[in-house]
Structure 1
Amino acid sequence: METIYLEHSNTGLSFIESQPCVFALGFFDGVHFGHQRLIQTAKRISEEKGVPLAVMTFYPHPRQVFDKNNAPIKYLTPLHRKQEVLRNMGVDKLFIVKFDPNFAKLSPEDFVEQYLIYYGCIHVVAGYDYTYGYKGHGNIETLKKSGQGRFEVTVVNKISYNKEKIGSTQIRQLVSEGEMEIIPKHLGSYYKVNGYIARSHLLKNDMQELVIKIDADYLVPQEGHYQIQLNVHNILYHGTIQKISIRDNYTLLYAYIYEDFNLSIGSLVDVKWLKSIYVPGMENINVV
Structure 2
Amino acid sequence: MEIIRSLKRFEPLPSSVLTIGSYDGIHRGHHEILSAVVNHAHARSVPSVLVTFDPHPRHILDPNADKLSLIMSMDQKMGIVESLGIDLVYVINFTEAFSKTTAQDFLDQSVVPFFNPKYLIIGYDHHFGNQREGSPQFLDEYCMHHSIGLEIIQPVSDDGHSISSSRIRQLIQDGFVRRANFELGSVFGFIATVIHGAGRGKELNFPTANVVPVEKNQLMPKPGVYFTRGRIIGLQAYGMCNFGTRPTFDEHELVLEIHFFHDELDNLYGKEIRVEFLERIRDEKKFPSPEELKSQLQKDKLRCLELQGKYE
Q: TM-score, normalised by structure 2?
A: 0.79
Query: Which residue is equivalent to 2:178?
Result: 181
Flag the 1:23–1:203 CA change in 2: closer, same or farther, 3 A. Answer: same
Q: Give the C-alpha shift of residue 239 in structure 1.
A: 2.0
Q: How far, CA to CA, are the matches of 1:94 and 1:253 in structure 2? A: 33
1:129 aligns with 2:128: no
Q: Give the C-alpha shift of residue 199 in structure 1.
A: 4.5
Q: Is the 8 A contact 2:237 2:262 kept in 1?
A: yes
Aligned residues: 275
Query: Which residue is equivalent to 1:223?
Result: 223
Q: Is the 8 A contact 1:230 1:269 kept in 2?
A: yes
Q: How far, CA to CA, are the matches of 1:18 and 1:34 in structure 2? A: 29
Query: Which residue is equivalent to 1:10?
Result: none
Q: Is the 8 A contact 1:196 1:213 kept in 2?
A: yes
Flag the 1:236–1:30 CA change in 2: closer, same or farther, 3 A. Answer: same
Identity %: 21
Letter of the structure 2 residue corresponding to residue 161 of structure 1:
D
Q: Give the C-alpha shift of residue 280 in structure 1.
A: 9.3
Partner of residue 47 from structure 1, selected from 42, 46, 53: 42
Query: Which residue is equivalent to 2:139?
Result: 143
Q: How far, CA to CA, are the matches of 2:156 and 2:283 in structure 1? A: 36
Q: Give the C-alpha shift of residue 244 in structure 1.
A: 4.9
> Normalized per residue, which structure has more strand?
1
3-state DSSP of counterpart to 1:44: helix
Q: Give the C-alpha shift of residue 231 in structure 1.
A: 2.2
Q: Give the C-alpha shift of residue 86 in structure 1.
A: 1.2
Q: How far, CA to CA, are the matches of 1:108 and 1:69 in structure 2? A: 25
Query: Which residue is equivalent to 1:86?
Result: 81
Q: How far, CA to CA, are the matches of 2:207 and 2:281 in structure 1? A: 19
3-state DSSP of counterpart to 1:118: helix
Flag the 1:81–1:43 CA change in 2: closer, same or farther, 3 A. Answer: same
Q: Give the C-alpha shift of residue 156 in structure 1.
A: 0.7
Q: How far, CA to CA, are the matches of 2:169 and 2:283 in structure 1? A: 25
Query: Which residue is equivalent to 2:299?
Result: none
Q: How far, CA to CA, are the matches of 2:285 and 2:56 in structure 1? A: 41
Q: How large is the RMSD of aligned CA atoms in angstroms? A: 2.5
Q: Is the 8 A contact 1:242 1:282 kept in 2?
A: no
User: Cα deviations across residues 88-120 of structure 1 (Å, max 9, x unaligned)?
Assistant: 222211111122222221112111111221222
Partner of residue 274 from structure 2, selected from 270, 277, 282: 270
Residue pairs, 1:202-281, within 5 angstroms: 203-215=202-214, 216-244=216-244, 253-265=256-268, 266-278=270-282
Letter of the structure 2 residue corresponding to residue 130 of structure 1:
H
3-state DSSP of counterpart to 1:208: coil
> Normalized per residue, which structure has more helix?
2
User: Cα deviations across residues 54-89 of structure 1 (Å, max 9, x unaligned)?
Assistant: 111112222222222222222111112112221222
Letter of the structure 1 residue corresponding to residue 262 of structure 2:
E
Q: Is the 8 A contact 1:194 1:268 kept in 2?
A: yes
Query: Which residue is equivalent to 1:191?
Result: 188
Query: Which residue is equivalent to 2:12?
Result: 18
Q: Please, which moves more after superposition, 178-187 or 192-201?
A: 192-201
Flag the 1:60–1:244 CA change in 2: closer, same or farther, 3 A. Answer: farther
Q: Is the 8 A contact 2:20 2:50 kept in 1?
A: yes
Q: Please, which moves more after superposition, 44-53 or 216-225?
A: 216-225
Q: How far, CA to CA, are the matches of 2:235 and 2:283 in structure 1? A: 24
Letter of the structure 1 residue corresponding to residue 48 of structure 2:
L
Residue pairs, 1:107-118, within 5 angstroms: 107-118=102-113
Runs of 4+ in 1 over 6 A off after TM superposition: 279-282
Q: TM-score, normalised by structure 1?
A: 0.86
Q: Give the C-alpha shift of residue 268 in structure 1.
A: 3.6
Q: How far, CA to CA, are the matches of 2:161 and 2:190 in structure 1? A: 25
Q: How far, CA to CA, are the matches of 2:107 and 2:283 in structure 1? A: 54
Q: Give the C-alpha shift of residue 212 in structure 1.
A: 2.3
Q: Is the 8 A contact 1:112 1:146 kept in 2?
A: no
